[in-house]
């Protein structure tokens, strides 16, 4: 299914890869309060930030992400902000545009494309729907389904309605960037971002040391 600003891809992963992805996220030592900002209410997650040249290292460190990355990453993208995200009762995401701040360079980045993959969605879940173009004449509400990915333009204002019953929703968001060389040079080579005390924000591997935060 395709529209002017979003598309839906169904049957993305095989059953084994899907189970591995859900298990890997839910058992991850990095899973804690979502580091994505105040819009993400009562959500859990962590982030993996990297350039395309580091993608093999990301797959080695997070093997359960490999089938997902192979399915959703586009050839024209050269930098990524991947966010495993777990929602349960009372979780919601307020309207926002995905925007990252590279500091100390003070460069604000809006992704070219956002890809949201639904790894586990309970059929009994109430709420948890993705709303695109919030408040506009062409607002669209998407009911998430397991093993589907929604791709939409990075400039789109979006939100997630509140989950109102105790049902888990596990998704992985991939912000995809096509950066100019000068910006790509200061983008983190490979970085983990989480709110767990034992695992502070840390840059891994080669490249220019840089921090990246929500804007």
Extents of the domains making up the chain: 6-214
The confidence score (pLDDT) of residue 107 equals 87
- Read off the pTM: 0.90
| Residue 198's pLDDT band (cuts 50, 70, 90) | very low
The confidence score (pLDDT) of residue 195 equals 82
d(CA 39, CA 196): 19
Q: What is the pLDDT of residues 85-101, one digit of tens each?
A: 999 999 999 999 999 88
Encode burial over 59-78: b for 16+ CB neighbours within 10 A, e otherwise. beebebbbbbbeebbeeebb
Residue 1 predicted with pLDDT over 80: no
Bridge partners (DSSP) of residue 193 are 47
The whole-chain average pLDDT of the chain stands at 91
Q: What is the pLDDT of residues 44-94, one digit of tens each?
A: 999 999 999 999 999 999 999 999 999 999 999 999 999 999 999 999 999
Q: Which of 12-26, 116-130, 188-202 has the lowest mean pLDDT?
A: 188-202
Give 196 or 164, the one with higher predicted confidence.
164
Q: What topology is assigned to 6-214 in CATH?
A: Jelly Rolls (2.60.120)
Cβ atoms of 49 and 191 closer than 8 Å: yes
The confidence score (pLDDT) of residue 128 equals 95
- The beta-carbon contacts of 199-205 under 8 Å, at least 24 apart in sequence, are 199/29, 199/30, 204/57, 205/54, 205/57
| Residue 205's pLDDT band (cuts 50, 70, 90) | low
Give start and end residues of each alpha helix (H) in 4-143: 15-26, 55-61, 66-72
């Amino acid at each position: 299914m395709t529209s002017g600003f979003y598309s839906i891809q169904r049957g993305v992963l095989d059953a084994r890869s899907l189970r591995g992805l859900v298990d890997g996220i839910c058992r991850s030592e990095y899973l804690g309060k979502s580091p994505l900002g105040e819009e993400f209410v009562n959500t859990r997650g962590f982030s993996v930030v990297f350039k395309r040249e580091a993608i093999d290292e990301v797959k080695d460190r997070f093997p359960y992400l490999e089938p997902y990355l192979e399915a959703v990453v586009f050839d024209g993208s050269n930098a990524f902000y991947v966010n495993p995200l777990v929602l349960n009762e009372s979780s919601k995401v307020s309207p926002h545009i995905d925007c990252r701040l590279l500091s100390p360079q003070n460069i604000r980045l809006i992704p070219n494309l956002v890809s949201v993959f639904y790894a586990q969605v309970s059929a009994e879940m109430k709420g948890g729907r993705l709303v695109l173009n919030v408040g506009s004449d062409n607002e669209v509400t998407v009911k998430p389904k397991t093993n589907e990915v929604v791709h939409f333009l990075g400039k789109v204002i979006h939100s997630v309605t509140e989950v109102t019953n105790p049902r888990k929703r596990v998704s992985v968001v991939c912000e995809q960037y096509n950066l100019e060389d000068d910006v790509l040079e200061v983008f983190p080579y490979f970085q983990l971002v989480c709110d767990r005390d034992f695992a502070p924000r840390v840059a891994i591997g080669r490249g220019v040391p840089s921090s990246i935060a929500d804007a």
